[in-house]
């Protein structure tokens, strides 16, 4: 079975500071990796995903995540955060075969950006 652990439930940070949201996963088979963001009273939006190829993936709004197979991690980073980045962030995995849309989510990390 697969599982996802997000090591921090809450991360407070000041505006323009760097941030890292940590994600570790456990799986006996190969998986795809995702980061989703959820703003208050909204659904989830895909931030970025790792399917194959380069282990460093980037989103259009400055986030990046690096797949580390040996450490089974997929940490999310941003060098300089904005107030608008305040949201809950979810790391997720899915099977590479027969279950792409069946996501297993971590518990989420609430990012609070302060001025």
Partner 1 sequence: KAGVTQTPRYLIKTRGQQVTLSCSPISGHRSVSWYQQTPGQGLQFLFEYFSETQRNKGNFPGRFSGRQFSNSRSEMNVSTLELGDSALYLCASSLAAGEDYNSPLHFGNGTRLTVT
Nearer to partner 1, 77 or 110 (CB): 110
46-105 residues in contact with partner 1 (CB under 8 A) are 46, 49, 51, 90, 92, 98-105
Q: Residues 24-43 vs partner 1: string with x where CB under 8 A? A: --------x---x----xxx
List 45, 55, 61, 80, residue binding partner 1 (CB under 8 A): 45
Count of residues that bind partner 1 according to CB under 8 A? 23
Shortest CB 64 distance to partner 1, Å:
17
Q: Are 25 and 91 in contact (CB under 8 A)?
A: yes
User: What does the DSSP assignment read for the chain?
Assistant: --EEEES-SEEEEETT--EEE-EEEE-SS-EEEEEEEE-TTS-EEEEEEE-SS-SEEE-TTS-EEEEETTTTEEEEEESS--GGG-EEEEEEEEESSS-TT--EE---EEEEEE-
The rounded distance, in Å, linking the Cα atoms of 70 and 37 is: 26
The residue (of 70 and 97) whose beta carbon lies closer to partner 1 is 97
Is the CB of 2 or the CB of 15 nearer to partner 1?
2
Instruction: Name the site residues for partner 1 (rule: CB under 8 A).
Output: 32, 36, 41-46, 49, 51, 90, 92, 98-108
């Amino acid at each position: 079975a697969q599982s996802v652990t997000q090591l921090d439930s809450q991360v407070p940070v000041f505006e323009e500071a760097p941030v890292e949201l940590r994600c570790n996963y456990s799986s006996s088979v190969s998986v795809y990796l995702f980061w989703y963001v959820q703003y208050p009273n909204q659904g989830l939006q895909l931030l970025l995903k790792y399917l194959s190829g380069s282990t460093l993936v980037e989103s259009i709004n400055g986030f990046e995540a690096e797949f580390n197979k040996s450490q089974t991690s997929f940490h999310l980073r941003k060098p300089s955060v904005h107030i608008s980045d305040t949201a809950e962030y979810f790391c997720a995995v899915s099977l590479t075969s027969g279950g792409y849309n069946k996501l297993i989510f971590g518990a989420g990390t609430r990012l609070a950006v302060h001025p």
